[in-house]
Structure 1
Amino acid sequence: MTAHAVDPSPLVPPMPERNPKALRAAIAQHTPQLLPDFDEHWRWAVADAFDISTVPAFMARWWGEYAIARDPKLDAHMKDLHRRASESTDITEAKALLEEASNIRYHVRRLEPGQ
């Protein structure tokens, strides 16, 4: 795992309480570019479904999205990993780059509120 996912810079806002309302407020305040997709996903995955069983999967996805986007260095690193993987002509290299991105996503989803 890279240092990015473990040691966010001091300017990185903490993770909010782990509920949709708090996460939406944090996204609106710190990563507003994610808000339209968050709201659209909420509408079709939860609100229009009339089924709260979809909330854990929704939260897992957006918890990770916010955790990455709130840290400009980590966000840039993830974009770079994906860009390099998409441009790579070496399958082994591309797989390693995508595996690193996957590991980061796995680790940020485990962050707790306040971290």
Structure 2
Amino acid sequence: MTTATPEPGGSVPPMPEYTPKALRAAIAAHTPDLLSDFDDTWRQQIADAYDIAPVPAFMARWWGEYALARDPELDRHVSDLEKRAAEATDAEAARKLLDEASRIRHELREREPGE
């Protein structure tokens, strides 16, 4: 799911305000390859809902996706970990690779606006 669009000059843009609108704007500006999936998921999970209960889960998922995709080097690293895990013939080695990728993704979901 993660696709990175390198920033001119190699800088990582800051995390936006923690709202769906601000997150969508950041995705459109810095990781446009994610925009279609973001919009599709929004329409499927939120737009027609009569209850806002799914919004926190939606935001948590997409906050992490954007946090990773905005950093092309880190995105490549996590993708490499996941690829190596998929190709591993040793279950323990695969687990360690996936644990590392998961740890990185979890840490990214903890980013604050402006970081």
The normalised TM-score by structure 1 is 0.90
What are the residue-to-residue correspondences of 1:7-26 with 2, within 5 Å?
A: 11-26=11-26
Matched, 1:110 2:115: no
Q: Map of 1:39-58 to 2, 5 A cutoff?
A: 39-58=39-58
Letter in 2 for 1:76: R
When the two chains are superposed, the root-mean-square deviation of aligned CA atoms in Å is 1.2
Q: Give the gaps of 5 or more residues in structure 2.
A: 1-9
Equivalence map 1:71-110=2 (5 Å): 71-110=71-110
Matches within 5 A, 1:57-68: 57-68=57-68
Q: CA deviation at 1:49?
A: 2.0
CA distance in 1, matches of 2:39, 2:97: 30
Structure 1, gaps ≥5 residues long: 1-9
User: Match of 1:61, SS?
Assistant: helix
Q: CA deviation at 1:50?
A: 2.5
C-alpha displacement at 1:15, in angstroms? 0.1
Shift of 1:106: 0.8
